[in-house]
Amino acid sequence: MTTIQSRNGDMLDAVVHRFYGRTDGTIEFVLEENPSLAQSGPVLTTGQKIHAPPLPPTAAEEQQTIKLWGV
């Protein structure tokens, strides 16, 4: 698990997007790992540590493509 720190004026969605590259489903996942973040308010304090767990694969990532022909 990686620990990241917020910057001056950061909001959780910006931190999550910067780290994971997306926000869909990731904010909730990070909040489950860091329940105290919900009590921090919308703007995080500078240098606040956030535990960033590895995300489970999405349905698109789990889906495998099968090629029947070499084309």
CATH number for the region 2-54 comes to 3.10.350
Q: DSSP per residue over 17-71, as a string? A: HHHHS--TTHHHHHHHH-GGGGGS-SBPPTT-EEEEPPPPPPHHHH-----SS--
pTM as predicted:
0.73
**DSSP H or E segment with residue 4:** strand 2-5
Q: Contact at 8 Å (CB) between 9 and 29? A: no
Q: What is the pLDDT of residues 28-62, one digit of tens each?
A: 999 999 999 989 889 999 999 999 999 877 656 55
Every domain of the chain and the residues it spans:
2-54
| Number of residues in the chain | 71
pLDDT at 56: 77
